[in-house]
Chain A
């Protein structure tokens, strides 16, 4: 089946630095990718929808200047956490939507990136 990868798996950084997380669809093209944040009670919060070749659509309450999303190609979307602070420490998960020739849509999730900001 389709595979979505994320890099890095883990990142520890100092407060004030920026961190880039990559999300790749490995064997299919994804015009749409999604970025989620997992909270301690395991719920997933959709942060933004990343569309190839256009600006991302952010959910209410998510700062677009803080969480920069770039969907530069059909297989890669990046999330950059700018000027990270300890409260940004979380588990970030991406997913990619595959649309088959028959129009069937399937969403595949990545393994997640654990960010710890000191």
Chain B
């Protein structure tokens, strides 16, 4: 079957760095997405990786290793507003999105 695994919850301190991991097993691969979702709001697109390597976008970076079925989202200089759920989703060979359950990130002062 297809599945996406990511931690259920993580806690980090304001100003620090946190890495949220995502591992996947899917039938084919057409890219991996990271979304941020605040409670009661629609997900916000953060990144899309289809090739191996690190992509940096401001305080957020996303890494992909297709051979290992692994990605991470790196958040630097954490701010209180970064408290949210972070969703990892993979597009399979049929261009269907397989979603992880999301990682709830709690930022403490």
Contact = CB atoms under 8 A, between A and B. Distances in A.
Interface in A56-72: none
Interface string B74-109: 000000000000010100001111110110000000
B45 A43 contact: yes
B89 A109 contact: yes
B6 to A, nearest CB: 11
Nearest to B34: A42
A110 to B, nearest CB: 8
Chain B residues touching A, majority SS: strand
Interface residues of B, number: 19
A91 B94 CA distance: 13
B37 A107 contact: yes
Interface string B29-46: 000010101010011110
B48 interface: yes
Interface of B: 33, 35, 37, 39, 42-45, 48, 87, 89, 94-99, 101-102
